[in-house]
């Protein structure tokens, strides 16, 4: 009999796939005969864990160019362990090309993941992703389905290079674009940067959304330890992919599901690590959405509370100096976690069957400038603050670690734009009525307004100010910004303007006060005046009368709720499909 410490192993008849392949029924005949059509005999599929390899490879997503090779390595591991691999193409939600934003498709990917797993004879899955939204999208779907899964990150690309200088994804694009606008960079130089900034497959190699989210997936206990830090082209990536294949087969037999691994305490770890990494602000929206799939509530204040206690330890761009290749060589995420282990719940379980503490036990920091310990921290507290005030009753976010310090306490007059197009039209006007003290505002850019809450939040500095040498100013919006962005940008203002949040009521010239130390964002307009403006406010006419966009704007929740669809959040279990 199994003791408390010896988990029960499934019998072949208890496998989910047995219902398709194992029975003496008309339908099972059909399933087996079609497996044979694919060249698989009964000995391949009957009574064996069938492992779905959900592959977000796509020619539309250069970050994932290598994932067909990664899938081959996973298959090798699955076969070694006695399982049957099935590679399943799934939408990629690539960050670079998808309009209006890959975030618009995150929930779509989550639905596809959940439904593909539910509808098919799959006992467990290895999820291949990495480019920003693919990590939360795949995991949200997998959490809702709740069968054993392992997340296999695609890994970061190697460092960019321009004339011997290191280039970092995103961050250096914004930096050099401003120099080009200021007339400091020729077209030829700009093209050389274009040649050298993305030199290999893999996700962005700054501590942007991709590096943050894959690290957090590992922290949640969902990856083979170490997987998230390995560059895409390092051979260790392939070896760990095979290990994921072997492990998932074991996890199917032991029924190690996300609900048995990921708890509120795992999410507290993830938030702590997000802060220690100086991670992307996008992680907040995604963690809230992911936790929501498991019925775990993460109020924004939890992020602030943890942020105040957790030092910044990763010296990574955009908040610091280095890139993922250097982070990996310095020991990677395991070393960072081990260095901060007193700040973590180390007793939480992981997909390895051990605890997080055991998974990171022997990890060593090889370069203490890249990966700091709390004794040698870059900053005593985390990089992100949650703001409240009459302009954001449901919260707003600022990554103050990547903002100019003086701007974190600032009062200035608003300059309001109602759309990105309008802002773009005027921002380079040399007669624009703007100074370095102006607070730039973009609204109608939230989950409903844009739709999809694009990464527009690092609003461009007006050309007039660029020419004066200004490179940062206070900027406010209800959208997100790229994890590779920086500056005094207040983001995720909730409720958003498109649904009538107070941001909709601001007028150009109103005074706005940002006070990060006191976590405050205040519009200096009286309540009476705001009520008057509210009475005059009208929502924009409905733009989408059909299709995914209609579904999206009708069901997306606000940023503080994770911008998931209301009908996808945690609820009673969806019944398994009948097999007939
Ligand atoms: Fe894919 Fe940045 S574009 S991770
Ligand atoms: Mg990004």
- Of 196, 222, 251, the domain-final residue: 196
ipTM: 0.94
Close Cβ partners of 123 (under 8 Å, ≥ 6 residues apart): 15, 16, 17, 49, 50, 51, 83, 147, 148, 252
What's the pLDDT score for residue 485? Answer: 84
Same domain, 326 and 456: no
- Return the structure tokens found at 493: 């203002």
The pLDDT-based confidence of 405 (bands split at 50, 70, 90) is very high
Close Cβ partners of 32 (under 8 Å, ≥ 6 residues apart): 21, 42, 45, 46
Task: Give the chain's domain count.
Answer: 4
Cα 276 to Cα 175, 212, 221, 309, 566, distances in angstroms: 24, 10, 17, 10, 31
Return the DSSP state at 433: -
565 within domain boundaries: no
The pLDDT-based confidence of 28 (bands split at 50, 70, 90) is very high
Return the DSSP state at 374: G
Is the CB–ligand 1 distance for residue 300 below 6 Å?
A: no
Same domain, 94 and 26: no
CA distance 304 to 281: 12
Which residue segment(s) compose the domain that 502 sits in?
385-536
Q: How far is the CA of 207 from the centre of ligand 2 (A)?
A: 9
Mutate-to-test residue for ligand 1 from 109, 132, 197, highest number of ligand atoms within 8 A of CB: 132
Mutate-to-test residue for ligand 1 from 154, 197, 204, 213, highest number of ligand atoms within 8 A of CB: 204
Rounded average pLDDT over 265-290: 96
Instruction: Return the biggest CA–CA distance within the chain.
Output: 81
Q: How far is the CA of 203 from the centre of ligand 1 (A)?
A: 5
CA distance 227 to 332: 9
Q: How far is the CA of 76 from the centre of ligand 1 (A)?
A: 27
Predicted confidence (pLDDT) at residue 286 exceeds the cutoff of 90: yes
Rounded average pLDDT over 125-137: 98
Predicted confidence (pLDDT) at residue 2 exceeds the cutoff of 70: no
Same domain, 290 and 362: yes
What's the pLDDT score for residue 273? Answer: 97
Same domain, 192 and 226: no
Predicted confidence (pLDDT) at residue 6 exceeds the cutoff of 80: no
Same domain, 370 and 488: no
224 within domain boundaries: yes
Same domain, 120 and 96: yes
Q: How far is the CA of 270 from the centre of ligand 1 (A)?
A: 21
Continuous segment of H or E residues that includes residue 162 = strand 160-162
Rounded average pLDDT over 301-327: 95
Instruction: Please give the number of the atom of ligand 1 that sits closest to the Cα of 61.
Output: 1
6 within domain boundaries: no
What's the pLDDT score for residue 382? Answer: 84
Rounded average pLDDT over 428-450: 97
CA distance 115 to 313: 39
Q: Return the CATH number at 280.
A: 3.40.50.2300
Q: Which ligand is nearest to the CA of 202?
A: 1
CA distance 67 to 133: 16
Is the CB–ligand 1 distance for residue 96 below 6 Å?
A: yes
What's the pLDDT score for residue 318? Answer: 86
Same domain, 101 and 229: yes
Question: Does residue 465 contact residue 493 with C-beta atoms inside 8 Å?
Answer: no
CA distance 552 to 145: 21
424 within domain boundaries: yes
Is the CB–ligand 1 distance for residue 204 below 6 Å?
A: yes
Rounded average pLDDT over 486-510: 97
Return the DSSP state at 531: H
What's the pLDDT score for residue 7? Answer: 79
Rounded average pLDDT over 413-430: 97
Q: How far is the CA of 161 from the centre of ligand 1 (A)?
A: 17
The pLDDT-based confidence of 196 (bands split at 50, 70, 90) is very high
Continuous segment of H or E residues that includes residue 368 = none
380 within domain boundaries: no
Conformational region of residue 197, where left means phi above 0, alpha means psi within -120 to 50, and beta covers everything else? alpha
Close Cβ partners of 4 (under 8 Å, ≥ 6 residues apart): none
Predicted confidence (pLDDT) at residue 157 exceeds the cutoff of 90: yes
Q: How far is the CA of 119 from the centre of ligand 1 (A)?
A: 30
Close Cβ partners of 12 (under 8 Å, ≥ 6 residues apart): 18, 22, 46, 47, 48
Q: How far is the CA of 367 from the centre of ligand 2 (A)?
A: 26
Is the CB–ligand 1 distance for residue 133 below 6 Å?
A: no
Q: How far is the CA of 348 from the centre of ligand 1 (A)?
A: 30
Instruction: Please give the number of the atom of ligand 1 that sits closest to the Cα of 64.
Output: 1
For ligand 1, atom 2, name the residue with the nearest CA: 204
Question: Does residue 417 contact residue 443 with C-beta atoms inside 8 Å?
Answer: yes
Rounded average pLDDT over 222-234: 98
Same domain, 143 and 277: yes
285 within domain boundaries: yes
Percent share of the chain, pLDDT over 70: 99
What's the pLDDT score for residue 3? Answer: 46
564 within domain boundaries: no
Same domain, 220 and 186: no
Is the CB–ligand 1 distance for residue 325 below 6 Å?
A: no
Q: Tell me how far apart the terminal alpha carbons of the chain are, to the nearest angstrom.
A: 35
What's the pLDDT score for residue 154? Answer: 98
Surrounding ion ligand 2 within 5 Å at CB are 132, 208-209, 482
Angle at 461 between CA 456 and CA 467, to 5 degrees: 155
Rounded average pLDDT over 571-580: 87
Instruction: Please give the mean pLDDT across all residues of the chain.
Output: 96
Q: Return the CATH number at 402.
A: 3.50.30.80
Same domain, 62 and 207: yes
CA distance 318 to 428: 25
For ligand 1, atom 1, name the residue with the nearest CA: 131
Mutate-to-test residue for ligand 1 from 56, 59, 63, highest number of ligand atoms within 8 A of CB: 63
Instruction: Please give the number of the atom of ligand 1 that sits closest to the Cα of 169.
Output: 2
Q: How far is the CA of 342 from the centre of ligand 2 (A)?
A: 30
Predicted confidence (pLDDT) at residue 5 exceeds the cutoff of 70: no
Same domain, 26 and 64: no
What's the pLDDT score for residue 4? Answer: 52
Predicted confidence (pLDDT) at residue 1 exceeds the cutoff of 60: no
Same domain, 360 and 319: yes
- Of 137, 172, 196, the domain-final residue: 196
552 within domain boundaries: no
From the centroid of its chain, how far is CA 100?
A: 17
- Closest listed residue to residue 125, CA positions, set 94, 152, 92: 152
């Amino acid at each position: 009999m199994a003791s408390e410490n010896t988990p029960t192993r499934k019998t072949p008849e208890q496998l989910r796939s047995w219902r398709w392949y194992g029975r003496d029924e008309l339908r099972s005949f059909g399933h087996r005969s079609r497996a044979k059509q694919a060249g698989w005999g009964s000995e391949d599929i009957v009574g064996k864990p069938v492992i779905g390899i959900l592959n977000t490879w796509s020619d539309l997503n250069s970050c994932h160019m290598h994932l067909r090779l990664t899938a081959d390595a996973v298959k090798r591991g699955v076969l070694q362990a006695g399982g049957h691999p099935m590679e399943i193409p799934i939408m990629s939600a690539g960050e670079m090309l998808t309009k209006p934003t890959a975030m618009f498709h995150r929930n779509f990917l989550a639905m596809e993941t959940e439904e593909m797993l539910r509808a098919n004879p799959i006992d467990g899955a290895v999820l291949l992703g990495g480019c920003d939204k693919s990590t939360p999208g795949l995991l949200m779907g997998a959490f809702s389905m709740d069968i054993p899964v392992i997340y296999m990150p695609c890994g970061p690309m190697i460092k960019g290079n321009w004339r011997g200088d290191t280039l970092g994804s995103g961050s250096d694009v914004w930096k050099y674009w401003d120099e080009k606008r200021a007339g400091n960079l020729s077209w030829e130089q700009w093209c050389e940067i274009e040649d050298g900034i993305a030199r290999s497959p893999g996700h962005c190699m700054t501590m942007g959304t991709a590096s943050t989210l894959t690290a957090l997936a590992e922290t949640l206990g969902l990856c083979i330890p170490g997987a998230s830090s390995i560059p895409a082209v390092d051979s260790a990536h392939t070896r760990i992919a095979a290990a994921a294949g072997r492990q998932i087969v074991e996890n199917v037999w032991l029924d190690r599901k996300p609900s048995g691994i990921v708890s509120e305490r795992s999410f507290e770890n993830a938030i702590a690590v997000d802060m220690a990494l100086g991670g992307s602000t996008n992680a907040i929206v995604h963690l809230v959405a992911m936790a929501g799939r498991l019925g775990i509530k993460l109020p924004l204040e939890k992020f602030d509370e943890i942020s105040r206690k957790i030092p910044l330890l990763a010296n990574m761009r955009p908040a610091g100096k280095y890139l993922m290749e250097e982070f990996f060589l310095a020991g990677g995420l395991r070393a960072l976690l081990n260095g901060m282990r007193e700040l973590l719940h180390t007793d939480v379980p992981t997909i390895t069957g051990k605890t997080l503490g055991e998974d990171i036990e022997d990890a060593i920091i090889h370069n203490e400038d890249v990966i700091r310990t709390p004794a040698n921290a870059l900053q005593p507290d985390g990089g992100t603050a949650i703001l409240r005030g009459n302009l954001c009753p449901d919260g707003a976010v600022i990554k103050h670690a990547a903002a100019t310090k003086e701007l974190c306490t600032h009062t200035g007059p608003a300059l309001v734009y109602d759309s990105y197009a309008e802002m773009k039209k005027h921002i380079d006007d040399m007669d624009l009525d703007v100074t370095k003290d102006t607070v730039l505002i973009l609204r109608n850019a939230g989950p409903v307004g844009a739709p999809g809450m694009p990464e527009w939040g690092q609003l461009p500095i007006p050309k007039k100010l660029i020419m004066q040498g200004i490179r940062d100013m206070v900027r406010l919006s209800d959208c997100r910004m790229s994890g590779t962005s920086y500056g005094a940008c207040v983001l995720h203002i909730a409720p958003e303007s498109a649904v009538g949040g107070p941001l909709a009521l601001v007028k150009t010239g109103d005074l706005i006060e940002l006070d990060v130390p006191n976590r405050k964002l205040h519009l200096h307009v009286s309540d009476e005046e705001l009520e008057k403006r509210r009475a005059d406010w009208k929502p924009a006419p409905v733009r989408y009368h059909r299709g995914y966009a209609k579904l999206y704007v009708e069901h997306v929740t606000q940023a503080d709720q994770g911008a998931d669809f209301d009908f996808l959040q945690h609820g009673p279990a969806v019944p398994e499909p009948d097999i007939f």
